[in-house]
């Protein structure tokens, strides 16, 4: 910013249309035209320091560094420059530079730098290595920018365009890249130049001002008092007037974009060699966020720190690693568990203070081994406002300070102040290395079990595709399970064996690692040895109770590739169906010493159980196939039986029909002949009457024969369970009336009394023909087993939800033991003689009646006593 020389080479004018013309510069090196004081003023004001350094630490082009820090050239050499850095940041910076040097990589970090006036300023530092043809570092280009109070300036602004011109355009470009606003004025306060950030803060429309009196076009209020800033109060005016630097005025402004902002303003007068003030430099920065944060924090920070110290004791006691940090991610506190977890020495918490230091130390990687980008690190995520739980956070790998590789699970939440602004983070870290390993194993086991379960389905498909024999299918499935189990468990032998009551093991399927344990050997000797071992009462008891048993047997066989002292490590899991023990699953690790873990035992047990179920299922399938065959055969038999009964009935009745019809025809003819003979001789009439009588008796016999055929066919149907009912809603009254009427017709001499309690219909669900058959059976029995002049009563009534029919005779009655057996097939009461009519019957009628009523959901019964007659009854459920 020296005296104007030559024409403007402004190449960024297009970006600052309304800005004052920049101060033109000649082609001198950047700072060469300035005396030390001016240089210091510019560097202080801009907060921009740059230099170069050789790999051995020797600095070069150190003018701006010296101007900013106040160090002499010699003080900067070797590691001397580090002494300008805040002591707490020094080690970190040194480490970072050492790492960058080793890696030949860009080094970028923030630290606090001590300015020459004693102020501690936070700067962002960037060192870029220049490599020579051999690939080693020739030189470092170093750059610092003061970012104090700029919480969000995470990135360096990138240069707006490639810088090709030297001189003023370089300066303009440099100035435009600065993250602070910059104005340059002449000695009278006329604004000559502003940079891009200044335009951004005040607005692109901010006007050129020629004299201090015009300053009030810029509107501002003092932050502390709220009073408007007058023309002469602006920092630049005061600096030019007093010749002293003005540092950090805080003003609230309304920009020309209409935005309210808080800005910090510093101004410095610039003098020529004679000491005359020839220019002024104004630095402004947008401190809106900082002010807002300060306001927000105020009281809260104090409270928080008190709370923190209270909590500290608690934190120390927590078994999970705990890190409390501020809004910048700087660790305020880590607990003992964290130090243990991360391998950090108790006296060296500084190592983990800065987020970048932590990242370098722990090298956090995702599951694929890629470094976690800074914004994916847990603390960064929490500081952005996320609450991390195990559910929304992936585990990540770290290398602890003492060199262990561990899998960490992080959770945590942001710490907020009363206004809900994030002022820090609490992060909890847990070593999940072991747990995840277990989970993976369990996952593998579960998927194996699933695969086995799937074989259920596959097995069905195979069977449906024509593998008719379920035994073969079951065996193949067992083979598959054995192979699966061996691959999951990583063992040498898996044998599935069924077990009978004598504990004889029959290998059903097996999977062998042929080299270490040949199948033949296992079946011959290995099996015997295992059987002997599990026959021990203690072992068998445990297997019966479902326990998986580990056996340690001497390996005695040459085939088994064993030394004499070798042991067989065997796990035996019972296969049980319900409480019964149906077989075992044996797994063997050969002679390689092996201790079975809990998860191996559980998995083996689970597979054995599942296999038991599958074997049972195969057995049930076989049973089902047999049952289906039986059912088919039964159905066929029934069909044939039904057909046979139909044909038998037809064939038996056909001759009976012609006999019966013939007799009836003869009877008719005889009756007609009798009518014709009425007028003729009495002897002829007597002869004809005699013939008619015989015909009548023969006809009675054919009717009896017909009943017997019916009974035989019915009982055959009952026995074959083929008694078919044709159920429909019926009125019981006319059915009973018809039977009584028919019997009165057939035996007109007998007295049959009918009493019906209800005048209305008695509705039942019934096969009318079958109910008629039952009533007929009761009534004919009553008539048959009582004296010819004894009357028979038939009574129909309802009781509750039942309809009842009673048939009472005055016959000899039944003894109690006879009543017990009266409903049985072929039973005939020995003491009861037929009293009237003829024939003894087959003892089927009551059996058939009882069956018919039972099929209707009704009941039958008899009340009787010797010498006092009998009452047979049945009930049918009324239609509700």
Partner 1 sequence: MQACVVEDDAAIRQTLRAILELEGYDVLEASEGSAALEILRATEGPLVVLLDLLMPGMDGITLLQTVAADPELTESRAFIVVTAAPQMLTPPMTGLLNSMSIPIVVKPFDIDVLLDTVFRKAKALQVPG
Tokens 């932590």 belong to: 358
- Hey, CA dihedral for 473, 476, 480, 485, is it positive or negative? positive
CB of 642 to partner 1, least distance (A): 8
Nearer to partner 1, 168 or 660 (CB): 660
CB of 707 to partner 1, least distance (A): 11
CB of 694 to partner 1, least distance (A): 18
Nearer to partner 1, 455 or 702 (CB): 702
CB of 618 to partner 1, least distance (A): 40
Nearer to partner 1, 528 or 703 (CB): 703
Instruction: Indicate the SS3 state at residue 441.
Output: helix
* φ, ψ for residue 412, nearest 5 deg: 155, 175
Q: How far apart are CA 733 and CA 740, in angstroms?
A: 11
| CA end-to-end distance (rounded Å), the chain | 115
CB of 465 to partner 1, least distance (A): 38
Nearer to partner 1, 519 or 669 (CB): 669
CB of 619 to partner 1, least distance (A): 40
CB of 458 to partner 1, least distance (A): 44
Minimal CA–CA distance to 493: which of 457, 456, 530, 467? 530
Nearer to partner 1, 104 or 703 (CB): 703
Residues that bind partner 1 (CB under 8 A): 642-643, 645-647, 649-650, 652-662, 664-665, 668-669, 702, 706, 713, 724
Note whether 860 and 780 are within 8 A (CB).
no
CB of 472 to partner 1, least distance (A): 42
CB of 674 to partner 1, least distance (A): 15
List strand residue ranges (DSSP E) for 224-330, in order: 246-254, 260-271, 277-286, 321-326
CB of 699 to partner 1, least distance (A): 10
Nearer to partner 1, 552 or 651 (CB): 651
Nearer to partner 1, 109 or 774 (CB): 774
Nearer to partner 1, 306 or 647 (CB): 647
Nearer to partner 1, 292 or 668 (CB): 668
Nearer to partner 1, 318 or 656 (CB): 656
Note whether 600 and 578 are within 8 A (CB).
no
In Å, what is the CA distance from 90 to each residue of 53, 81, 94, 616? Answer: 18, 10, 6, 75
Strand order across the beta sheet in which 422-431 lies: 331-334, 321-326, 422-431, 405-416, 396-399
Structure tokens at 691: 């013939």
Minimal CA–CA distance to 110: which of 123, 97, 126, 128? 123
Let me know the angle formed at the C-alpha of 464 by 461 and 465, rounded to the nearest 5 degrees: 85
Three-state SS for 705-729 is HHHHHHHHHHHHHHHCCCCCCCCEE
CB of 826 to partner 1, least distance (A): 22
Structure tokens at 528: 């015997």
Q: At CB < 8 A and 24+ separation, what contacts does 413-416 make?
A: 413/382, 413/387, 413/388, 414/382, 414/383, 414/385, 414/386, 414/387, 415/304, 415/324
Q: Which residues pair with 112 in a beta bridge?
A: 122
Q: Which residues pair with 264 in a beta bridge?
A: 250, 285
Nearer to partner 1, 720 or 878 (CB): 720
Q: How far apart are CA 396 and CA 417, in angstroms?
A: 30
Q: How far apart are CA 491 and CA 498, in angstroms?
A: 20
Q: Which residues pair with 495 in a beta bridge?
A: 510, 586
CB of 661 to partner 1, least distance (A): 4
CB of 651 to partner 1, least distance (A): 8
Nearer to partner 1, 649 or 877 (CB): 649
Nearer to partner 1, 58 or 664 (CB): 664
Q: How far apart are CA 695 and CA 672, in angstroms?
A: 14
Q: How far apart are CA 112 and CA 93, in angstroms?
A: 10
Three-state SS for 35-46 is CHHHHHHHHHHH
CB of 624 to partner 1, least distance (A): 30
Note whether 374 and 380 are within 8 A (CB).
yes
Q: Is 798 exposed, middle or buried (0-12, 13-18, 19+ CB in 10 A)?
A: middle
CB of 800 to partner 1, least distance (A): 34
Nearer to partner 1, 662 or 837 (CB): 662
CB of 657 to partner 1, least distance (A): 4
Q: How far apart are CA 408 and CA 367, in angstroms?
A: 11
Nearer to partner 1, 77 or 642 (CB): 642
Nearer to partner 1, 407 or 699 (CB): 699
Q: Which residues pair with 815 in a beta bridge?
A: none
- Hey, CA dihedral for 457, 459, 460, 464, is it positive or negative? positive
* φ, ψ for residue 537, nearest 5 deg: -55, -40
CB of 662 to partner 1, least distance (A): 5
CB of 643 to partner 1, least distance (A): 8
Instruction: Indicate the SS3 state at residue 788.
Output: coil
Note whether 742 and 707 are within 8 A (CB).
no
Helices and strands: H and E segment counts in the chain? 22, 28
Nearer to partner 1, 393 or 710 (CB): 710
In Å, what is the CA distance from 740 to each residue of 511, 537, 708, 754, 860? Answer: 81, 76, 20, 8, 19
Nearer to partner 1, 13 or 649 (CB): 649
Strand order across the beta sheet in which 137-146 lies: 59-60, 48-53, 137-146, 120-131, 107-114
């Amino acid at each position: 910013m020296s005296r104007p020389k030559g024409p403007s080479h402004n190449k960024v004018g297009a970006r600052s249309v309304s800005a004052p013309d920049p101060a033109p510069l000649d082609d001198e090196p950047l700072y060469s035209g300035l005396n030390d004081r001016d240089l210091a003023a510019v560097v202080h004001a801009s907060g921009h320091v740059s230099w170069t350094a050789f790999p051995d630490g020797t600095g070069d082009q150190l003018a701006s560094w010296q101007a900013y820090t106040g160090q002499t050239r010699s003080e900067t050499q070797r590691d001397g420059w580090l002494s300008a850095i805040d002591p707490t940041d020094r080690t970190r910076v040194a480490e970072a530079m050492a790492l960058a040097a080793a890696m030949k990589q860009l080094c970028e970090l923030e630290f606090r730098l001590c300015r020459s006036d004693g102020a501690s300023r936070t700067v962002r530092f960037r060192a870029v290595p220049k490599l020579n043809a051999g690939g080693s570092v020739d030189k470092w280009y170093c750059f610092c920018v003061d970012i104090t109070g700029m919480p969000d300036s995470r990135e360096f602004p990138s240069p707006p365009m490639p810088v090709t011109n030297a001189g003023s355009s370089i300066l303009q470009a440099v100035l435009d890249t600065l993250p602070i606003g910059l104005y340059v004025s002449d000695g009278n306060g006329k604004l000559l130049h502003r940079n891009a950030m200044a335009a951004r803060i005040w607005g692109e429309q901010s006007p050129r001002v020629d004299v201090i009196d015009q300053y009030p076009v810029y509107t501002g209020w003092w932050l502390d008092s709220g009073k408007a800033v007058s023309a002469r109060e602006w920092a630049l005016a005061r600096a030019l007037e007093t010749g002293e630097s003005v540092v950090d005025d805080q003003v609230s402004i309304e920009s020309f974009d209409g935005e309210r902002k808080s800005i910090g303003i510093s101004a410095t007068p610039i003098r020529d060699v004679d000491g005359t003030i020839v220019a002024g430099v104004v630095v402004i920065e947008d401190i809106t966020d900082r002010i807002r944060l300060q306001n927000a924090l105020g009281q809260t920070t104090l409270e928080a720190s008190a709370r923190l110290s209270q909590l500290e004791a608690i934190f120390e006691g927590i078994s999970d690693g705990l890190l409390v940090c501020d809004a910048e991610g700087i660790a305020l506190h880590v607990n003992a568990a964290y130090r243990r977890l991360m391998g950090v020495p108790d006296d060296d918490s500084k190592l983990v203070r800065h987020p970048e230091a932590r990242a370098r130390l722990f090298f956090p990687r995702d599951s694929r081994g890629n470094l976690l980008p800074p914004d994916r690190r847990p603390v960064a995520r929490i500081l952005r406002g996320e609450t991390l739980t195990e559910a929304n956070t992936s585990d990540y790998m770290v290398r602890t300070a003492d060199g262990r590789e561990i899998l960490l699970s992080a959770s945590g939440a942001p710490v907020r102040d009363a206004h809900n602004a994030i002022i820090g983070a609490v992060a909890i870290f847990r070593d999940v290395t072991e747990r995840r390993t277990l989970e993976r194993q369990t996952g593998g086991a579960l998927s194996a079990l699933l695969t086995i379960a799937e074989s259920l389905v596959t097995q069905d498909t195979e069977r449906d595709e024509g593998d008719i024999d379920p035994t073969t299918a079951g065996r193949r499935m067992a083979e598959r399970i054995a192979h699966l189990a061996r691959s999951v468990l990583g063992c040498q032998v898996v044998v599935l064996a069924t077990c009978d009551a004598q504990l004889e093991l029959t290998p059903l399927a097996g999977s062998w690692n042929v080299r270490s344990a040949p199948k033949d050997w296992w079946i011959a000797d290995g099996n015997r040895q295992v059987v002997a071992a599990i026959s021990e009462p203690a072992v068998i008891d445990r297997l019966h109770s479902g326990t998986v048993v580990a056996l340690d047997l001497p390996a005695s066989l040459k085939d088994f590739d064993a030394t004499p002292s070798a042991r067989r490590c065997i796990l035996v899991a019972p296969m049980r169906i319900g409480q019964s023990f149906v077989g075992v699953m044996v797994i063997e690790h050969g002679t390689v010493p092996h201790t079975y873990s809990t998860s191996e035992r559980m998995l083996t047990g689970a597979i054995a159980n599942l296999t038991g179920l599958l074997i049972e299922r195969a057995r049930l399938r076989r049973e089902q196939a047999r049952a289906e065959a039986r059912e088919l055969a039964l159905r066929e038999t029934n069909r044939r039986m039904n057909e046979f009964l139909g044909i038998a009935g037809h064939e038996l009745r056909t001759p009976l029909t012609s006999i019966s019809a013939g007799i009836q025809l003869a009877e008719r003819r005889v009756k007609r002949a009798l009518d014709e003979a009425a007028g003729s001789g009495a002897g002829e009439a007597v002869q004809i009457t005699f013939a008619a009588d015989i015909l009548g008796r023969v006809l009675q016999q054919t009717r009896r024969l017909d009943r017997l055929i019916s009974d035989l066919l019915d009982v055959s149907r009952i026995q074959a369970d083929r008694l078919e009912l044709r159920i429909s809603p019926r009125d019981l009254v006319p059915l009973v009336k018809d039977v009584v009427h028919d019997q009165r017709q057939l035996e007109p001499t007998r007295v049959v009394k009918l009493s019906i309690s209800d005048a209305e219909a008695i509705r039942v669900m019934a096969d009318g023909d079958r109910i008629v058959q039952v009533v007929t059976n009761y009534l004919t029995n009553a008539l048959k087993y009582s004296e010819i002049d004894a009357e028979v009563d038939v009574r129909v009534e309802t009781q509750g939800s039942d309809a009842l029919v009673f048939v009472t005779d005055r016959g000899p009655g039944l003894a109690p033991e006879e009543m017990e057996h009266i409903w049985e097939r072929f039973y005939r009461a020995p003491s009861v003689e037929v009293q009237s009519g003829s024939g003894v019957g087959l003892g089927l009628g009551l059996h058939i009646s009882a069956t018919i009523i039972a099929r209707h959901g009704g009941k039958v019964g008899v009340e009787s006593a010797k010498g006092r007659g009998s009452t047979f009854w049945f009930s049918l459920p009324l239609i509700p």
